[in-house]
Structure 1
Amino acid sequence: MEWIKDLNFEQKKKLYTYLCEFLTNHRIEIFEQNIKYRTRHLTVVLENVFQSHNISAVLRSCDCFGVQDIHIIENLHPYHINPEIAMGSSKWLSIYHHNQGMDTLVKVFDAIHQQGYQIIATTPHPHGYNIESLNIENKTALLFGTEKDGLSEEAVRRADGYMKIPMHGFTESLNISVSAGISLYALTTRLHKMKIPWQVSEQETIEIKIGWAAQSIKHAEYIIQEFISEHL
C-alpha cells in the first residue's frame, strides 16, 4: 500500500469511490461507522512478544478500540498470528514490523519520537502513573513487553514515562493481552471525551478506507492497478 502515498487526495477519493462499486452497502456502512472512532493519537508497541496468541489478542483489542497503528519489535522473536484469536483483526490495522538487529529498539524509539509521540512503558514502576491519571493530551505510544520478563531494561530506561494498572489482589502482574485490553479500553474511553483532535485526518481516513476496501475485495491489487493505469 506504499504506492498510495503517490496519489493526491482527489485521486484517492476517486479510487475509493470506484472500489465501493465492489462492496456491499452494509460493508461501506461499517467502514463509515468504524472510521469515526479510528485514532492514531494512541499507538501500541510490542517488544519481543513471542507467544502468537498474545500478539493476536493485542491486535484484536487494538481493532476493537480503534487504535490503527501497531509497531512490533521482533529482533528476538519473529511475529506470528494465531488466526483463531486474532479473528481477522490484523487486516484492518496498520502493522509495522521492526527487525534491524541490536539497534532496533533505538531506531524504533527515534522514529516514534519523530512522529510526536511520548513513549509510555506499561510496567509497575514506582514512579509510574495510574492508568486514570496518565496525561494523554499528547500523542502516546504504549509499550508492552514479553510475557515472562516484561520490558527490557533499555526500553524502560528510554521510555518517557510509565503507566501501571491498579491491582488489589495477590498476583503481581497481568497477562500482556489483558493489560493491553484494559489499557486501550480505559485510555480510548478517556480520549473520546477530550476536546483534542484524536480522530484520523481526512487524508488518513481515505487511505485507511482504501486499505479496508482492498482487504474486502477479491483480486483487489489487480483491480486497483487497472483503475490507476486507466483513470489516473
Structure 2
Amino acid sequence: MSEQGPTEWVFGEPVGVGPWPGDPPDDPRYDPALLAEGDRRNVVDAYRYWRRDAVVADLDRRRHDFHVAIENFQHDHNIGTVVRTANAFTAKAVHIVGRRRWNRRGAMVTDRYQHVEHHPTVESLLTFADAEGLAVVGVDNTPGSTPIERTPLPRRCVLVFGQEGPGLSEDARKGADVLVSIAQFGSTRSINAGVAAGIVMHSWVREHADLDAAW
C-alpha cells in the first residue's frame, strides 16, 4: 500500500519526483509503490521513495535532545504548526497537554514522522520530565520571565508553550525550572503560539545543534 498522502504544490506544480527511472534499487528502505508511482510527499529529497517507517527510524537516529509541549485545554489551532516546526528541527517528541484531539491540518502530514505524545494534565507532563531528567522551560511573556535572547537553554529540556491568548497555565508556570520570554517591540501584547514555538526551537538549535548535520 502506498504511503503517498496529500500532494504539496508550489507555483501550481506538484513537488517531488515521478516514478523511479530504470530498474528499481534493491534497498529495503524504499517503498515499491512510491518507486512505481512517484513520490509527491512533503519530505526532503534525501527521503524520496523511502517507506515511512524507514524515514522515522532515520530521524530517530538524528533527533535532538529537546522536547516540545503545548497546552490544549481549549482546542488550540496552533498545534499543527508546532508539530510541523518540531519535525523540521527534529525535536525528540511533541507533547499535547490537555485534550487529546487537535487539528492536524497545519501539520501538513509531518505528524506521520514526528513522535506525538499525550498528557491529560500538566502534572503528568512534569512527572514525565522529571523521570527523563529534562529541565522544564516555560515560554510566556509574563512577569518573572527572562529574555530568551539572554538566557542559555538547557540541552536536555522540554519547551512548554501555552495557548493563544491566556498563555501558560498557572500549573505550568509554577512547574517550570526556567521561564523565558521573546523580546517584542510592537503594539501587540503577544505573538502567535506557533510562531513563538518556532523562535524558541531555533534558539535551541543555534545553541546546541550540529549545524553541519543540517540538510
| Offset of residue 53 of structure 1 | 3.2
Q: How many Å separate the matches in 1 of 2:73 and 2:193?
A: 9
What amino acid sits opposite 1:70 in the alignment? V
What amino acid sits opposite 1:139 in the alignment? R
| Offset of residue 136 of structure 1 | 2.6
| Offset of residue 125 of structure 1 | 3.2
Residue equivalent to 2:198: 181
Residue equivalent to 1:97: 118
The TM-score, its normalising length taken from structure 1, stands at 0.64
Is it true that 1:170 corresponds to 2:187 in the alignment?
yes
**Deviation sequence 1:201-223 (CA, Å, 0-9, x none):** xxxxxxxxxxxxxxxxxxxxxxx
Q: Is the 8 A contact 1:48 1:73 kept in 2?
A: yes
| Higher helix fraction (1 or 2) | 1
| Offset of residue 144 of structure 1 | 0.6
> Aligned to 2:153, what secondary structure does the other structure show?
coil
Picking from 20, 28, 33, the partner of 2:29 is 20
Residue equivalent to 1:107: 124
Q: 1:137 to 1:160 in 2, by over 3 A?
A: closer
- C-alpha root-mean-square deviation of aligned residues, in Å? 3.1
What amino acid sits opposite 2:117 in the alignment? Y
Unaligned runs of 5+ in 1: 1-16, 195-232
Residue equivalent to 2:83: 59
Q: How many Å separate the matches in 2 of 1:48 and 1:137?
A: 24
Q: How many Å separate the matches in 1 of 2:143 and 2:155?
A: 22
Q: How many Å separate the matches in 2 of 1:110 and 1:139?
A: 15
> Aligned to 1:53, what secondary structure does the other structure show?
coil
Q: Is the 8 A contact 1:37 1:66 kept in 2?
A: no
Q: Percent identity?
A: 24
Q: How many Å separate the matches in 1 of 2:188 and 2:85?
A: 23
Q: Please list every run of at least 4 consecutive aligned residues from structure 1 whose deviation after the TM superposition is greater than 4 angstroms.
A: 28-32
Q: 1:19 to 1:142 in 2, by over 3 A?
A: same
Higher RCO, Cα 8 Å, sep 6+: 1
State how many pairs are aligned.
172
Unaligned runs of 5+ in 2: 1-25, 36-46
The TM-score, its normalising length taken from structure 2, stands at 0.68
Residue equivalent to 1:42: 66
